[in-house]
Amino acid sequence: MAEINFKEFLEELKKHTPYNFCDYSDNSIQRRIDKVLKEHNLQIDELLAKTKSEPEFVEQLVDDITVNTTELFRNKETWEYLYNKVIPGLKSKTNINIWHAGCSTGQEVYSNLILFNELDLLDKVKVVASDINKKVIRSAKLGEYDYKFNAQYIEVFNELWNGLKTNPKPFEHYFNIDEDHDKIIAKDFIKKIPKFIKHDLVVEDIPFYQKFDIIFCRNVLIYFNPELQLKIVRKFFDKLHDGGVLILGTHEALHGFFKTRFVKHGMVYTKSNTFHLKYK
């Protein structure tokens, strides 16, 4: 069998699996596939054959080529802005709908719920969180994280509250700390709120009928090419209430048409009904 290139591989993968990685950023997806080939000591045509004969291997492949990096309270300034500006503006609503698109292992889902609790709005909030990767969804539901790895984020947590509020609840109010097993575990009152589901933004329709006040999609679009980014942002735009916000990663930006339809503040983009031709 002649050697196929990574584009042909992705086309083939699209045909016989539920996944479509064809419109991921070329250089990045190629590198991720190369990494899988190296790790499994396979040629690309062997990898393709394996995805055909072993459906369970496909899920492993998805886990290997998608990126699952996430942290508690990553980028302090985003959470400050949410706490000071975005969430207080939602106070008068009966229900506040939030979607974490590409939630990975769930740290930001819990970070956000902590803000809502500190603002006494936990009973109004309805949270859905989705990811393409089955495995991370399982671990998001568990809400268990390595203690040592997260120790620095507990500092970030404390730093954040020192800047925002005089009497925040301590970290232990939200997480059980089990140093012996090197674990922190989200407490049940917070863990029972989000609905975590496996969902692929690229190929599946959005499975929610409600519109959202906040959509988090942090460091997900960076793996897509510009055309696919635009397609996904259009879906988010349609699913946001007027005045709702889309939250991206620190170095992500909206391109093309939709940058005129949001007002940007740092990495928080507010849906607007007017065009902003002067967008910088």
Partner 1 sequence: MQKNIQYKGIVIGGSAGSFSLVSKILSQIKDDFKYPIILCMHRLKHIRSGLVEGLNLKSNLPVVEPYDKQKIEGGKVYLAPSNYHMFVEFDATVSLSAEDVLNHSRPSIDYTFSSAATSFRNKMVGILLTGANKDGAQGIFEVHTKQGYTIVQDPNTCDVDTMTKSALQLFSPNQVLTPEEIVVFLNNL
Asked if residue 31 binds partner 1 (CB under 8 A), the reply is: yes
Cα separations (Å) of 109 from 43, 100, 229, 260? Answer: 38, 7, 22, 28
260 binds partner 1 (CB under 8 A): no
Q: Does 152 bind partner 1 (CB under 8 A)?
A: yes
Alpha helices in the chain (DSSP H): 6-16, 26-40, 44-53, 55-65, 76-81, 107-118, 134-142, 147-164, 188-191, 226-239
135-143, 180-188, 218-226, 271-279 -> range binding partner 1 (CB under 8 A):
218-226
With tokens 């916000």, the residue in question is: 245
Interface with partner 1: number of residues (CB under 8 A): 22
Across the beta sheet with 175-178, the strand order is 144-146, 183-186, 175-178
- Please report, as residue ranges, which positions from 171 to 200 form the binding site for partner 1 (by CB under 8 A): none
| Contacts for 179 with CB less than 8 Å, ≥ 6 apart | 147
Single out the residue of 279, 222, 78 nearest to residue 164, CA to CA.
Answer: 78
Q: Is 139 in the site for partner 1 (CB under 8 A)?
A: no
Rule CB under 8 A: choose which of 7, 43, 54, 69 binds partner 1: 69
φ, ψ at 263 (rounded to 5°): -100, 125
Residue labelled with tokens 């959202």:
212
Query: Any contact of residue 226 with partner 1 (CB under 8 A)?
Result: yes
Q: Which stretch binds partner 1 (CB under 8 A): 12-20, 25-33, 119-127, 171-179?
A: 25-33
Considering only the stretches 117-125, 187-195, 231-239, 252-260, report the one whose residues sit in contact with partner 1 under the rule CB under 8 A: 252-260
- Least Å distance, CB 170 to partner 1, is 21
Query: Which residue matches tokens 């899920």?
Result: 59
**For partner 1, which residue of 175, 212, 223, 269 counts as binding (CB under 8 A)?**
223
Q: Are 156 and 76 in contact (CB under 8 A)?
A: yes
Amino acid (one-letter) located at 13? L
Q: Does 67 bind partner 1 (CB under 8 A)?
A: yes
Q: Which residue in 253, 265, 266, 275 binds partner 1 (CB under 8 A)?
A: 253
- Which among 85-93, 142-150, 188-196, 221-229 is the span making contact with partner 1, rule CB under 8 A? 221-229
Binding site for partner 1 (CB under 8 A): 25-28, 30-32, 67, 69, 152, 219, 221-223, 226, 229, 249-253, 255
